[in-house]
Amino acid sequence: MSLLIGDVAPDFEADTTEGRIRFHEWAGKDWVVFFSHPADFTPVCTTELGYTAQLKDEFAKRGAKALVVSVDSIEDHKRWIEDIEETQNATVAFPMIADTGRKVATLYNMIHPNADAKLTVRAVYVIDPNKRIRASIVYPPSTGRNFDEVLRLIDSLQLTDTHKVATPVNWRDGEDVIIVPSLTDPAEIKRLFPKGYKAAKPYLRYTPQPGK
């Protein structure tokens, strides 16, 4: 199954380290960072889940929470959490799905046979409160992800959902943004962006980030 940006994230029921969940119900009105890891007791995954745990407050500031899946068992997850907490100086406070039957991984296209038919790739889905997939990122099993980039992505999505702007290359929260090309009425531009803008080209107009 190929999931595209704008699709409704498929619902499912699954056993996790925090009990059985129905995904849409568990997600509620939050943003969700739903990601897979290839296997428990592996070094790269240990660092990734530890760093995700350290970002709990950053996720909360954005109304977001993490959900993790792999094809390992609940028992393995719980034993591995002890290792993560010991080595990464973090408390794992998000559910880890036990997907031994590969049902969820298959539903979300997280198993790529040409990479490794036995493992999930490092997939990330950013899902909004309407249960829509807003972004997806896929890494090979050998490469750790950049979760600071995931936070930056959520910042951009939340900003552009509420203002008629786009975020330029390497943008960070608080930096200048771009007025969308479809906005052409001078009076509306002045109303929406009272701090003004600088036009590098008619279609490339920089303005201070709204609300900052």
- Give the β-pairing of 31-36 and 64-70: parallel
Query: Which residue reads 């906005």 in tokens?
Result: 183
How far apart are the C-alpha atoms of 3 and 93, rounded to whole Å?
27
**How many other CB atoms sit within 10 Å of the CB of residue 12?**
16
- Nearby residues of 154 by Cβ (< 8 Å), 6 or more positions away: 31, 33, 62, 64, 126
Phi/psi of residue 117, nearest 5 degrees = -70, -15
Q: Is 45 a catalytic residue?
A: yes
How far apart are the C-alpha atoms of 29 and 210, rounded to whole Å?
24
Dihedral-angle region of residue 170 (phi above 0 means left; psi in -120 to 50 means alpha; beta otherwise): left
Catalytic residue of the set 9, 27, 45, 67: 45
Active site residues: 45
